[in-house]
Amino acid sequence: MSATTTQASAMSITEHLQELRKRLVRSALAILIAAVVVWNFYPQFFAVIRRPYDLVHAHHANAILALPGVTSGFNLQLRVTLAAAVVVSSPVWLYQLWKFIAPGLHIHERRWAYIFTGVAVPLFAAGVALAYHIMPTMLNVLFGFTPDDVSNVTSVESYISFFLQVVVFFGIGFLLPLLLVMLNFAGILTGQRIKASWRWIILGSFMFGAIATPNGDPVGMTVIAVPMIGLTCAALAIALANDKRRAKRAQNTGTDQWADDEASPLDL
């Protein structure tokens, strides 16, 4: 056990709580500072969020974005500001979270955690970018069900909720292959098990694409499913390589002669 791990395990409950409070205060300050910045640039942030709606509005003039109530504008700006502040300040509070957890980890565990975190961020960003790119198509299909003689008055809060749900849905979907790799490195899921489930992986990817494209367009569904299948294939290759490395190490140490649930004899 390293000195850092020993020091972390020697901390009392009070010291752990004090450390947690320090990390929470710094994270809250980072979110507060980001909220002040976002509040001053609120028109620019809101313009980015409503751009998919504006593109659809050019084809559906009966789709109207409205704010019901006197205080709705203030509530909307406050909600957008807080959500954007959490995203903008994420490097800071993620770092604070990492500093709180890291002392209890071994050196090799920290190395893999750094790698997984570094891969998770661009994967989540790729999912968000794809969701933002196809959102006008989704809105165009949904508004297409509105009759010609009826105006679709959409609450801004409803649109913001829909926007955040789609973005988070796609971001998490792109993190699923990374989850497979994490389960493999933890010894819970083998590469052969992933390989044996390739039919379900392909089916699930196309089902994900079908849900993300309400119009059922096979081209759009394929555009979404293919990247997910490619990411899963990359996860499979990593898992198989890790299984091979683990089996070779077990052979060199002589521990491959016993099953995982079988106790090795003690040399007394």
196 and 228 fall within a common domain:
yes
84 and 49 fall within a common domain:
yes
Residue 37 is predicted with a pLDDT of: 93
pLDDT at 215 over 60: no
Distance CA 228, CA 175 (A): 9
pLDDT band at 105 (very low <50, low <70, confident <90, very high): low
State how many domains the chain has. Answer: 2
Residue 211 is predicted with a pLDDT of: 73
For residue 10, with 0-12 CB atoms within 10 Å meaning exposed, 13-18 middle and 19 or more buried, which class applies?
Answer: exposed
Residue 5 is predicted with a pLDDT of: 47
Query: Which residues constitute the domain of residue 202?
Result: 175-244
pLDDT band at 147 (very low <50, low <70, confident <90, very high): confident
Query: pTM value?
Result: 0.67
Return the CA Rg of the chain.
24
Residue 168 lies in a domain: no
150 and 185 fall within a common domain:
no
Name the packing angle between helices 72-88 and 13-40 (round to 10°). 120
123 and 235 fall within a common domain:
no
152 and 181 fall within a common domain:
no
Across the strands, what pairs with 63?
A: 152
Residue 254 is predicted with a pLDDT of: 60
pLDDT over 90 percentage in the chain: 6
pLDDT at 236 over 50: yes
